Amino acid sequence: MKASGAGSRGTGRAPTRFLPGPGDREFVERLVIHVDDQVLGFNKPSGLAVQGGSGVTRDLDHLLAVLATAKGRVPRLVHRLDRETSGVMIAARTKPAAAFFSAAFAERRARKTYLALIFGDLPETGMVEIPLRRVNRGGIDLSAPARADDPGAQAACTRWRVVGTGEAGAQLLALFPETGRMHQIRAHLAAIGAPIAGDRKYGGALAKAGLPFERLHLHALHLALPHPKDCEFRLTALPGPELFGPWRELALVGDADADFGHVE
């Protein structure tokens, strides 16, 4: 395993059944950032589960029922984000589109860019190549560093670039996962001694420089992938004030729209 620098499953309980209620349509519609006849794009908030499971009482998968067509067609999720992570997601509007986008993710034709706040001294660019395996610690599913020949180990690769340096050793990273393992970015940064701020599962700082980090400071900023209409499309979901505010306090960013649109 190496890091280089160049500059709630398994509980046995049935998931809680969620039924959309009053106000859910308005909530979901506020999340929508893109609409065409093939796909919907969303800016998912931190804390909203993508799919149901033990202890989950509200999730995006079931909420999509409020966007069903007159013929009863419900948009279908074709990828995931951690519950604690915010940012861009898509849902297919037809079965053929769902198959198309699912294949694009499976074949690694989707390019993702994330933003994360860490405290450290990482070089300007770098890459983490550390195999990961799933473990359960205290009833919590996590990804842990592993040797390539360990049972259950999967190859995992994450590239980074520092896009902001601020007070108290704060660094804002743009991250580009080349594989899609569970908690990959979180586990990789923790493994090289730079856990994400607010990451209670992987040892991230919960406060620094007088600022509390009440949520995970990881955000899915860009998603680029092929479109069924023989083109490529790119979605951007800007981080909300609960992220942008602390980043500005740490002198990492200026104006939100100006600073994040160019991050690649």
Please check whether the domain covering 12-107 is classified as CATH 3.40.640.10.
no
Residue 24's pLDDT is what? 93
- 144: which residues sit within 8 A by CB, 6+ positions away? 132, 133, 134, 135, 187
Percent helix, strand and coil across the chain, each rounded to 5? 20, 35, 45
Residue 18's pLDDT is what? 59
Instruction: Locate CATH 3.30.2350.10 in the chain.
Output: 12-107, 108-259
Contact criterion met (CB below 8 Å) for 178 and 154: no
Reference 137, options 5, 243, 6, 8; nearest CA is 8
Residue 82 annotated to the active site? yes
Q: Is 9 exposed, middle or buried (0-12, 13-18, 19+ CB in 10 A)?
A: exposed
Using CA atoms of 58, 61, 65, 69 in order, give the dihedral in degrees to the nearest 10.
Answer: 160
Residue 8's pLDDT is what? 38
User: What single-letter DSSP state applies at residue 149?
Assistant: T
Contact criterion met (CB below 8 Å) for 69 and 23: no
* CATH architecture of the domain with range 108-259: 2-Layer Sandwich (3.30)
d(Cα 185, Cα 78) in Å, to the nearest integer?
20
d(Cα 262, Cα 258) in Å, to the nearest integer?
8
Q: What is the pLDDT along the chain (264 residues), one digit of tens a residue?
A: 455 454 433 434 444 455 667 789 999 999 999 999 999 999 999 999 998 777 778 899 999 999 999 889 999 999 999 999 999 999 999 999 999 999 999 999 999 999 999 999 999 999 999 999 999 998 899 999 999 999 999 999 999 999 999 999 999 999 999 999 999 999 999 999 999 999 999 999 999 999 999 999 999 999 999 999 988 899 999 999 999 999 999 999 876 554 676 677
d(Cα 237, Cα 133) in Å, to the nearest integer?
30
Residue 10's pLDDT is what? 40
Residue 259's pLDDT is what? 60
Options 82, 121, 141, 257, the catalytic residue: 82
Phi and psi at 160, nearest 5°, equal: -140, 160
